Structure 1
Amino acid sequence: MAEWVQGLMDSMGYVGILLLMILENVFPPIPSELIMPSAGFAAARGDMNLVVVILMGTLGSVIGTLPLYYVGRAFGEERLVVWADRYGKWLTLRGKDIRKADDWFDRHGPKAVLFGRMVPGIRSLLSLPAGMSEMPMGTFLVFSAIGSALWSALLAGAGFALGENYDRVEQYVGPASKIILGLLAVAAVAWFIRRKREQEHAEV
């Protein structure tokens, strides 16, 4: 993966960074933790400008959020509520749970998008609830851009500082993303068990 990323940037330059960061948001197995530090290392060698690297990374990241945003927008809250009321019992999920989640996102969505864009593992997926809750496009783009810029600057700066050891960034951030996903999975299981028990008590 590292060789492919480096080869694409060597052949396409800034456009390669842009395309890779778009793909990273659509296909998470292509990690920004590898793309941006590699670009930062290229800037340290004098092959690229660090500021332009960060700008291209930010632009690609923001563009990459749009497909899932529009998927969420097309699916919509009402369709999800109908689906949950019809089939959600198998997941202990009800339509009113969807509405509660949507209300929460309406209140905290901008902060969730801003900080979520800097969390490996969920940074791409946040576009779905943003679309489902019909967050205004302008708001979504602004907070996505700020979060993406901070994340791109952090990773590119680390690659610039580490030089030839830029791949250490992915070595540290990669396990962290797995821990975050693991914690989210545990939280989902705990929520499932709690809801199941509530349903059982309600039926007694």
Structure 2
Amino acid sequence: MGEWIYEVIRQGGYLGIMFLMALENIIPPVPSEVIMGLGGVAVARGDMAFWPLLFWGTLGSAIGNYGLFLVADRLGYERLRPFIDRWGRWLTLEWHDVEAAGRFLRRHGHWVVFLFRFMPMFRTVISIPAGLAHMAHWKFLLFTFVGAAIWNVALILGGQWLGHTLAQAEEWLGWVTVAIGALTVVLYLWRVINWKPKEQ
């Protein structure tokens, strides 16, 4: 299981890493923990180098998050609300959540964008209220790139440790990928089935 995922990442090279990290922030097919973790395994085995892996992986994270930011920034509250009201069940998101995230961002400042890069559940979602708040593009990209870089360093080092410690590190990470994917699907279906919008 894990061996073919490792081979896909290794054969795709740094541009493949960038593409997967950008896609992971928009449509999470494989979590970044696995992508960069397996990249770290590749570093340990001499198939990749640390600094190019860190740069391209972080660039991919920034591109994916910037895409979400731009959509929210261009649409704004007025045009985004009808979309969320219509598709909220399938997004498992309602307008109340968007407003709450926006208030949180305004109350605690733009540093929230940086801090949320270390929280697996929120590091992508925060791009939307940041766009709706029309945060300065350069500031969003800077906070996103630096925060994602720090997170990716930890993931690469963890992958390197696994690569040096476990002979079948890619197999272990492969099964983790399957487990996370299955859990994500189950949780999503549970939320859709039990979706009950709050009273407006």
With the length of structure 1 as denominator, give the TM-score of the two structures. Answer: 0.70
Match of 2:31 in 1: 31
Amino acid corresponding to residue 55 of structure 1 in structure 2: F
Matching of residues 1-204 of structure 1 within 5 Å: 2-3=2-3, 5-79=5-79, 101-163=101-163, 164-167=167-170, 171=176
The CA deviation at 1:119 is: 1.7
Q: Which runs of 5+ in 2 are unaligned?
A: 87-93
User: How far apart, CA to CA, are the structure 2 residues paired with 1:65 and 1:98?
Assistant: 16
* Deviation sequence 1:34-76 (CA, Å, 0-9, x none): 1001111111011111122111111111011121111111221
The CA deviation at 1:165 is: 5.0
After superposition, the CA RMSD in angstroms is 3.9
User: How far apart, CA to CA, are the structure 2 residues paired with 1:94 and 1:20?
Assistant: 29
The CA deviation at 1:94 is: 8.2
User: How far apart, CA to CA, are the structure 2 residues paired with 1:145 and 1:131?
Assistant: 16
User: How far apart, CA to CA, are the structure 2 residues paired with 1:115 and 1:101?
Assistant: 14
The CA deviation at 1:16 is: 1.3
Higher relative contact order (CA 8 A, sep 6+): 2
Contact 1:28 1:124 in 2 (8 A): no
Contact 2:25 2:64 in 1 (8 A): yes
Classify 1:119/1:98 alpha carbon distance in 2 versus 1 (closer, same or farther; 3 Å): closer
Larger gyration radius, structure 1 or structure 2: 1
More displaced stretch, 110-119 vs 145-154: 110-119
Report percent identity of matched pairs.
Answer: 37
The CA deviation at 1:102 is: 3.1
Amino acid corresponding to residue 73 of structure 1 in structure 2: D
SS at 1:30 equivalent: coil
Amino acid corresponding to residue 125 of structure 1 in structure 2: V
Amino acid corresponding to residue 143 of structure 1 in structure 2: F
User: How far apart, CA to CA, are the structure 1 residues paired with 2:71 and 2:132?
Assistant: 8
Classify 1:94/1:149 alpha carbon distance in 2 versus 1 (closer, same or farther; 3 Å): closer
Classify 1:4/1:60 alpha carbon distance in 2 versus 1 (closer, same or farther; 3 Å): farther
User: How far apart, CA to CA, are the structure 2 residues paired with 1:106 and 1:100?
Assistant: 10
Match of 2:91 in 1: none
User: How far apart, CA to CA, are the structure 2 residues paired with 1:160 and 1:118?
Assistant: 19
User: How far apart, CA to CA, are the structure 2 residues paired with 1:80 and 1:10?
Assistant: 39
